[in-house]
Amino acid sequence: MNKPADFPLPLDAATPALQPQVGVSRAHEAAHLHVSGEAVYIDDIAEAQGTLHAALGLSPVAHGTLVSIDLDLLRRQPGVVAVLTAADFPGENNCGPLIHDDPILAEGTLRYVGQPVYAVIATDRELARRAAALAKQAVVSTPLPAVLTAREAHAIGQYVIAPMHLTRGDPQAALAGAPHRLEGEWAVGGQEQFYLEGQISYALPQENQALLIHCSTQHPSEMQQLVAHALGWQAHQVTVQCRRMGGGFGGKESQSALFACVAALAAHRLRRPVKLRVDRDDDFLVTGRRHGFDYRWSVGFDDEGRILGAEIDLISNCGHSADLSAPVMARALCHFDNAYWLPHVAMHGYGAKTNTQSNTAFRGFGGPQGALAIEMIMDGIGRRLGLDALTVRQRNFYRDGQDITPYGQRVEDNQIQPLTDQLIASSEYHARRAEITAFNATSPVLKRGLALTPVKFGISFNVVHLNQAGALVHVYTDGSVLVNHGGTEMGQGLNTKVAQVVAHELGVPASQVRASATDTSKVANTSATAASTGSDLNGKAAQDAARKIRARLTPLAARLLGCAESDVVFDGGEVRAGHGDPAVPSTAAAISFQELVGKAYLERIQLWSDGFYATPGLNWDRAKLQGNPFFYYAFGAAVAEVLVDTLTGETRVLRADVLHDVGRSLNPALDIGQVEGAFVQGQGWLTSEELVWHPQSGLLLTHAPSTYKIPTANDMPRDFRVALFDAPNAKDSIHRSKAVGEPPLLLPFSVLLAIKDAVAACGPERCDPPLRAPATPEAVLDAIEAVQARMAG
């Protein structure tokens, strides 16, 4: 695996440091704490005296009318201090982020197996869990028919959101006149976030009707608002803090609210600190995950494989409530095109309402589900025509004159063709394709497969007003710097990058800058750390704050150095007079940054500042699904080679070549780590992570590591080659970098399609294997049997 050494990259002319703090590989600011076990997560915070523990009683039925709860039975259990139900909320019993359709605790109707019905508060966590587990005895309900699959809900028109339709041109006419037609149905399952630190909230009463809540969340401001609404309070009575999460992946964007609200209610009612940390099994049963999608498509294309017209239904399994399903579907529709020009297209999105957990954000936020459909179609076209699917993909790429998306945004700074060309060469794609063909011809049991898939991913929140951020930068008289911003750290290195940005602006070593915990009492009204916008938004806000401080210090520095303000250079922990050209070292006198700050304090110059940033140029019509929802696009491509055992269905990724576009990287080491992690996480979604519900009871059967298989180190590609594409962002992003959180998750489409390629080698020429996703050994064997049956027939 490639790991870059410390090396500088070209920097913005507006910030001319000679010793750059951005564009170089630096360790994660808490790496030493992670590996030593000293990093403090919420459950590590020393418990205040009198802390109580909460546990949730979960619905034992998938759908029913809630008749009664035997509260006396629960209150009699050892250690129980209180039992809370929906009736105890003085405010709104809701944790739905957009549409208020998701009760914190069940009220009137039971909607899925695992829905929280009541909360037990006890002196000990184990005692609370034991009492809460009596739901089958305590909850009385009248059963109702349950709908457990998206297709079943779609068939009866049962949705959590109104259907969405996005059309360009005349797809019906294009389909009718196309020389070739491909029709198909397919499905991809959901995916559990499986953050290593489970959902947890710790609420501590404060003086004068206030609460401090330590919450493992990607969206502290939303937690603050929902808790305030649930208690009938104002937002200023609730402070939410998050120093770090042990992973989030979207699962703690909206769904941390239920746990924060329950802990807050208990702490408020009992006037004692209350912690709610759920068991892994309960976490699975209570919370939602990536939406599974069902597809039906019809595609017309010419003899060269160019798509002339397409129509597709995308049916997402939303679960029992809307949660974030509307923007997830919108992003899926906006990514169906992926990297391809679709002249005539009709997309229809349906958010199916089922009696299962309410599905939510997960890395990619609908984008992977949308783009995966077109990649399956491209593969199918190639097999129908007897062409390498790579050739079909290249012929359909966006290009000059064919660069407007179906939602009306121009694909600017299109890097997909040069990036793909570079990867084809570096991966030796064509030579390996010939080698694999020869291998498969002489290997009856083991089959190899190869695939290259591209990525075009839009960066910004689909909801325009969320694209804003704030930050505070404090410079202390000893020259040290503290930065606080609205983003949350979940292991991705956001705090490290923001600290590098601030260090660069002030010309001090990055080690001199510390990032503090996200806190709603410091930066207010923040957006979630999601949509891959963490560094883009918070980095720009912190840069703005640091530049204001530098601007205040510059006149004093010029006076002390006896030079023009335009010649003052902040660099390497010093402030000196330059020559107007930052590339030419100065021999002039210099003062330390610490000395300058000390003199500034005596001169009563403000040494702290706020910063703000709002992404420019965005607009979006949610009704028409038209506009410019994205600030820019990130591009990438991957080549995967796999080996399939046709007797067992087991697969192994032999090699993966990845080339990904992160613009001008703020920190190459962190960015490569993000690409590697996203690739393996996406590989797990498409190969091993299978969600199974009992067809009668509606119980999620795969609710623990024993039954739900996330990838391990042994599943990583044996030969994993990851490189960053060398091209600065054409947009004025933070130091011309690009987002890296979500786009690389689409790269392991190449793994799924390489498995499909290997399976195809078991059947007749031009066969199109019916491979399901995730491509578990069972799914692979089913696909092999299907193509072998066609050969026999």
Could you list the active site residues?
Answer: 742
Place of tokens 């924060």: 260
Q: Answer whether 621's CB lies under 8 Å from 614's CB.
A: no
Place of tokens 């009683």: 57
Instruction: List the alpha helices (DSSP H) in 445-563.
Output: 494-506, 534-561
Q: Answer whether 229's CB lies under 8 Å from 210's CB.
A: no
Quote the tokens at residue 417: 């063709």
Please state, as a whole number, how many other Cβ atoms lie within 10 Å of the Cβ of residue 151.
15
Measure the CA–CA gap between 557 and 602, rounded to whole angstroms: 13
Measure the CA–CA gap between 153 and 601, rounded to whole angstroms: 66
Task: Give DSSP secondary structure letters for 395-429.
Answer: HHB-BTTB-B-TTS-B--S--HHHHHHHHHHHTTH
Measure the CA–CA gap between 62 and 702, rounded to whole angstroms: 16
Measure the CA–CA gap between 562 and 662, rounded to whole angstroms: 41
Q: Which amino acid is at 375?
A: E
Quote the tokens at residue 667: 């920190």
Instruction: Calculate the alpha carbon distances from 515 to 339, 408, 570, 671, 739 in Å.
Output: 37, 39, 21, 19, 20
Q: Answer whether 292's CB lies under 8 Å from 316's CB.
A: yes
Quote the tokens at residue 744: 């690389």
Distance of CA 502 to the CA centre of its chain: 25
Q: What are phi and psi of 84, to 5 degrees?
A: -115, 145
Measure the CA–CA gap between 448 and 436, rounded to whole angstroms: 6
Measure the CA–CA gap between 785 and 793, rounded to whole angstroms: 12
Measure the CA–CA gap between 639 and 700, rounded to whole angstroms: 34
Q: Answer whether 262's CB lies under 8 Å from 116's CB.
A: yes
Q: Which amino acid is at 559?
A: R
Q: Which amino acid is at 285?
A: L
